[in-house]
Structure formats: C-alpha cells, structure tokens
Amino acid sequence: MKIIIFIIDGLGDRPNEKGETPLKIAKKPTMNRIAEEGICGLMNAIDIGIRPGSDTAHLAILGYDPYKVYTGRGPLEAFGLGLDLKEGDIAFRCNFATVDDNFIVKDRRAGRLDFETAKILEKEIDGLEIDGVKVIFRSKGYRGALVLRGEGLDYMVTDADPHKDNVKVEEVKPLRKEAEKTAEILNKLLKIIYNKLKDHPVNIEREKKGLPPANIILPRGAGIVPKVEKFYEKYKMKGAVICGTALIKGIGKMLGLDVIEVEGANGTPNSNIMGKAKALLNNLDKYDFFLINVKAADEAGHDGKFELKKEIIEKIDNMLSYIFENINKDSVYFVLTGDHSTPIEVKDHSADPVPIVIWGKSVRKDDVKEFDEFACAKGGLHWIKGEHVMRILLDLTNRNEKFGA
C-alpha cells in the first residue's frame, strides 16, 4: 500500500463577516468526494495554538520533531539549492545585495540579480577558507545559501541582513558564547566578499549599465544541519517529494527523499499544478511514499486575496480529479490537508487548524461530506497533530511496530 500526503500550503482560513472561507465556498467536487469517502478531522501541524512555518509544519507532518531538528531556515534552503551538507554545518539564507563604501544597503536584492551573473560571482565566494573554516556558497539568482564548515561553530548568531534598504549591514553578533567564533568569521567574510566583488568586472559592467552592483551577500536565518534519521531508515519506505519551492525540496533532501522536478512548478499562482499530478502518476510505481506540496494558496493568503485563494483551490480540485481518476483504494492511502492556515485577514500563517481527510480502503468513514474548516471539525479524526499523521498511516498500511505483546 502506497501513501500519498497532499499538502495545500496555507489551506485553512478564518471566516469573513459572511462566515465564508475561500475553501468553504470554492467549487471542489473532488475534495468533497474524498471527504465523503474518507475520515475527516482538523489538524495542527505542531500543536494547538502554535503558529507554524511551512518548514516546521512539513517536518512535523513527516513525523520529525521540529523542536529537535529545526534551528533555522538556512540548512533547508541550502539543501534545497542542492548543497551536500554534513551534520554540524552552519547554513544561512542569503541575498546578493548592493552596499556603498560605508556598508549602507542600497538594494537588498542587487536589482534582482540575474542567474548568470550570480553564477559568476558565486565562484568568488565558494571555496574560501577563513581561520580553518570552509566557506561553501551556492546562488540561485539574487538568492543563495551560505555554509560554514569547520570546528567550533555555532548557529546562534544574528542576521547580517538588516531586512531593509538604506541602513547599514548589521554586524553579526553571537547570541551565546559558543557562537563567538562563528560571528567573527562571518563579519570577516563579509568584508572579504565586499573587497572581492566591489571591483569585479561584472559589477563594473553593471554599473556602466546603470545596474546596482552585487557587491555583498546578506546572510540570515542561521541554522545547524541536524542529525536526522533518514526517511527510509525511519519508515522503510522509498519516498519522493513533488513541489515547486526550494524550502520543501530542502526538507525532502535533508530527509533523504528524492525530489521529482516538475517543469514550471514554481510555487506561484501560475505554477504548473497539473504537472505535479502527472509527475505523481508517472512515478507511482517507483515509490512507496509521496509528499506533494502546492504552494499557491499560501501566496494568495499572504497577499490577502480571498478570490484568488478560492480560485487556486478550485484549480487544485481539478488537479485532484485527474489524480483520482488514476488511483484506487486497493493500492493507496491518500491524505489531503494543509500545513497551516494563512488567513486572508492575517496575511500570514496562523495557528487555526487545517482540515484533514484520510482516504483509503480501511478507514472508518464518518458522516462528513464536505472538505472545509467547518465540516471537517465534525469528523471521526477529531483534532489531531502533525505527529499523528504518519503514525496513523503506518498503522493503516500495517507498517508500524507493536509496543508490547
């Protein structure tokens, strides 16, 4: 029996003054069918009243305790960019940025630096060594990931990124004694990078064209690569991730899941959602487990766009109908849920639980006939946590171990 967990990012919402949510009023015949045939409930990825990130929520739903394995977004972004990280590496998200001689940030994205130029500048940073610590850097346009590898490092340091323009690059500060060396190295590194990049031919060329030079990187979101039991070791299932965003890919890679790339899947409302369905069906024979993430509903939530979020949900419903024409209860347990709510009124993640349905041969079907925040609250799963999801699925597919005799 295969397991498919389908996550609509930012799915849940709070009712507007008419008592409506995008999910409640969306036309979603397939989601409703799944709810009617399955067992429904509400879920908080981490716990009741805890506002999760997409990263911590996905980790929890995959059965990993985010309080143990998550220290910051850096490592996940670095994994997502394809870096081969080792336990203990310290990783940061970065932007290429433009600073003046006084380290005042003039443009936090260096004019949204293009991929090709970034790749040229990447070579100036990747491979540096400071006080015995190896510097690894990988770019993706103006974004990138920085990794420090060596002895005596610690992730408890502040961001260099001031998160806005026209202020000075922040001096990196240690948040505890063990992080003093790391902060020192980062501050040295930023000066070295500035000196290497400020007169670099591509930047001189950019300035000639009136473009902001990419003469610094701004690290943020420090984290340490944790010791994690790989997904296959933990569950004895060959698994894959299908998603558009680097963050979720990074989670997959950190856990040793294969990442199935889908052309045009980019995490935006125009993402190639149907391409993900096809990628799933084309690879169904090759894996025991799939995690599929569709990001666009979350984006609409962050932008406060009710109608857009509803339309995206309807588009996803259409994609699900395609999947459900091609899978059956003899071979699959299918979970439809979200990682967290991104309510229109909040424009950010909230701790409101998300609806969840588990569909498959031997679930105890309940009376719920609609997939939304209200109907699912009356389902047979009641109100579960992310950590329960994999355990329930392992049990339904007769994979989990007995405790006792």
Q: How far apart are CA 146 and CA 77, in angstroms?
A: 9
Residue 206 CB, nearest approach to its own copies (Å): 30
Q: At closest approach, how far in Å is the CB of 76 from its own copies? A: 8
Is the CB of residue 141 less than 8 Å from the CB of residue 114? yes
**Judged by CB under 8 A, does residue 18 bind its own copies?**
no
By CB under 8 A, what part of segment 247-286 binds its own copies?
247
- Nearer to its own copies among residue 1 and residue 274 (C-beta): 1
Q: Does 227 bind its own copies (CB under 8 A)?
A: no
Task: Identify which of residues 23 and 179 has a Cβ nearer to its own copies in the complex.
Answer: 23
User: According to the binding rule CB under 8 A, does residue 352 interact with its own copies?
Assistant: yes
Q: 237-240 long-range contacts, Cβ below 8 Å, gap at least 24?
A: 237/3, 237/287, 237/288, 237/289, 237/399, 238/286, 238/287, 238/288, 238/289, 239/287, 239/288, 239/289, 239/290, 239/291, 240/283, 240/286, 240/287, 240/289, 240/290, 240/291
* Cross-strand bridge partners of residue 239: 289
Kind plus residue range of the DSSP H or E element containing 385 = strand 382-385
Compute the distance between CA of residue 90 and CA of residue 104 in angstroms, rounded to an integer.
26
Q: How far apart are CA 134 and CA 150, in angstroms?
A: 6
Q: Name the token pair of 155.
A: 């992730």
- Considering only 343, 354, 356, 357, the residue that binds its own copies (CB under 8 A) is 343
Binding positions for its own copies, 61-80, rule CB under 8 A: 66, 70, 73
Q: Does 395 help bind its own copies (rule: CB under 8 A)?
A: yes
**Shortest distance in whole angstroms from residue 140 CB to its own copies:** 17
Beta bridge partners of 157: 174
Q: Based on the shown chain and the rule CB under 8 A, indicate whether residue 9 belongs to the binding site for its own copies.
A: no
Residue from 252, 316, 319, 254 nearest 287 by CA: 252
Identify any residues that bridge with 90 across adjacent strands, giving them in sequence order.
Answer: 148, 224
At 53 the three-state DSSP class reads coil
Q: Report the residue number, 79 or 280, with the smaller CB distance to its own copies.
A: 79
**Is residue 394 a contact residue for its own copies (CB under 8 A)?**
yes
- Give yes or no for a contact between 263 and 312, defined as CB atoms under 8 angstroms apart: no
The residue from 349, 356, 357, 358 that contacts its own copies (CB under 8 A) is 349
Task: List Cα–Cα distances, 213 to 70, 92, 125, 296, in angstroms.
Answer: 34, 22, 16, 32
CA–CA distance, 72 with 91 (Å, rounded to integer): 9
Site size toward its own copies (CB under 8 A) is 55
Residues 6+ apart with CB under 8 A from 354: 11, 12, 42, 43, 44, 45, 337, 338, 339, 340, 341, 373
Per-residue contact track with its own copies, 194 to 223, x per CB under 8 A? ---------------------------x--
CB of 312 to its own copies, least distance (A): 21
Nearer residue to its own copies within complex by CB, 248 or 259: 248
Contact window for its own copies (CB under 8 A) among 3-11, 25-33, 44-52, 270-278: 44-52
Residue 46 engages its own copies in binding (rule: CB under 8 A): yes
Nearer to its own copies, 141 or 380 (CB): 380
Closer Cβ to its own copies, 202 or 344, answer by number: 344
405 touches its own copies (CB under 8 A):
yes
Assess 20 for contact with its own copies (CB under 8 A): no
Which residues, 357 to 376, sit near its own copies by CB under 8 A?
362-366, 373-374
Q: Give CA–CA dist 254/85, Å, rounded.
A: 8
- At residue 358, what are phi and psi to the nearest 5 degrees? -110, 125
Q: How far is CA 36 from CA 29, 370, 381, 397, in A?
A: 10, 7, 13, 21
* Binding of its own copies by 299 (CB under 8 A): no
384 contributes a contact to its own copies by CB under 8 A: yes
Q: Which of 6, 23, 36, 56 binds its own copies (CB under 8 A)?
A: 56
400 near its own copies, judged by CB under 8 A: yes
> What's the token pair of residue 269?
């409302």
For its own copies, which residue of 52, 162, 239, 252 counts as binding (CB under 8 A)? 52
Can you give the binding site for its own copies, defined by CB under 8 A? 14-15, 19, 42, 46-57, 66, 70, 73, 221, 247, 343, 345-346, 348-352, 362-366, 373-374, 377-378, 380, 382-384, 388, 390-392, 394-395, 398, 400-405
